[in-house]
Amino acid sequence: MSKPKVDHNPTLSRREAFQAAASELDATFVAGKLSTGDRVHLEHGPWKVILDTYILNRAQNPITYTRVRALYVARAGFTLRVSQRNVFTRIAELFGSRGLRVGDQELERKYTIKSSNDRRGQSLMMDGRIRGLIKIQPSLRLEIRRLPRRLRRIRGDGVRAVAVQTIGVIKEPDRLVSYLLLVAATLDRLIKIGGASNEPVAEGRTYARPRRV
């Protein structure tokens, strides 16, 4: 599939944008109910990749995020974050805190990459498709992370998440498609570098913490 081009169409509603993204990828659009908003479910290998929005209240100031996420069974316990550079990351660099170098100056000028394991982090970011899908976006945050504590009690620490999010309600279908493809590409790369198991996350099962590498 060719690299998606960002579609600046201000006339679409959130629902229409989600439906268009689902149609593009042969995914499933799930209309929201009282307790949940609209979602897109993309079946990719053994994983379910989910697009939705959520609201985070910070100091009585609600902020809406668009996100895509998927759970996977981890074989190696490492984390990674790709986040947009800002004044705080530049200040941190003055004091010696530098991000991971992945040999892509265009990416490194715009984003800071942090990983709990430099070797695995670099290996994951060597995937040109992942880097390309990140670079075409005006902003995003990509994470490989542990689940929140309350979910770890249910699923165990052997289940991890790949997540992409950005501030605001994104209504450009091609941008939403890119987010879904980025999570899918990250899952594929995790398999290749030995960070994930090629099996679905089973409901009702608790997974042991993966080995630290």
Output the average pLDDT for the chain. 89
In a domain, 1, yes or no: no
Long-range CB pairs of 1-5, under 8 A, 24+ apart, other chains included:
1/181, 3/132, 3/133, 3/136, 4/133, 4/136, 4/174, 4/175, 4/177, 4/178, 4/181, 5/136, 5/174
Q: Phi, psi at residue 176, to the nearest 5°?
A: -65, -40
- pLDDT for the residue 45: 96
In a domain, 94, yes or no: yes
| Mean pLDDT across 173-182 | 98
- pLDDT for the residue 79: 95
Polymer length in residues for the chain: 213
Find out whether 151 and 132 touch, Cβ atoms under 8 Å: no
In a domain, 213, yes or no: no
Q: How confident is the model at residue 57 (pLDDT cuts 50, 70, 90)?
A: confident
Half-sphere exposure of 57 (CA within 13 A, CB side): 2
In a domain, 208, yes or no: no
Report CA Rg, the chain: 17
In a domain, 138, yes or no: yes
| Cα–Cα distance, 135 to 143 (Å, whole number) | 15
| Cα–Cα distance, 193 to 173 (Å, whole number) | 30
Q: How confident is the model at residue 97 (pLDDT cuts 50, 70, 90)?
A: low
150-161 per-position pLDDT tens digit: 999 999 999 999
DSSP code string of the chain: -PPP-----TT--HHHHHHHHHHHTT-EEE---SSS--EEEEEETTEEEEEEEEEEEETTEEEEEEEEEEEEEBSB---EEEEE--HHHHHHHHTT------S-HHHHHHEEEEESSHHHHHHHHT-HHHHHHHHTSSS-EEEEEEPPHHHHHHH-TTEEEEEEEEES----HHHHHHHHHHHHHHHHHHHHTTSB-SS---TT---PPPBP-
In a domain, 203, yes or no: no
- pLDDT for the residue 2: 47
| Mean pLDDT across 30-44 | 91
Most confidently modeled of 9-13, 96-100, 105-109, 177-181?
A: 177-181
In a domain, 62, yes or no: yes
- pLDDT for the residue 90: 60
Domain boundaries, position 42? 14-192
In a domain, 207, yes or no: no
Number of domains in the chain: 1
In this predicted structure, the answer to whether residue 103 has a pLDDT above a threshold of 90 is no
- pLDDT for the residue 124: 96
Rounded to two decimals, the pTM is 0.89
In this predicted structure, the answer to whether residue 1 has a pLDDT above a threshold of 50 is no
- pLDDT for the residue 19: 97
The one-letter code for the residue type at 174 is D
110-134 per-position pLDDT tens digit: 899 999 999 999 999 999 999 999 9
- pLDDT for the residue 6: 46
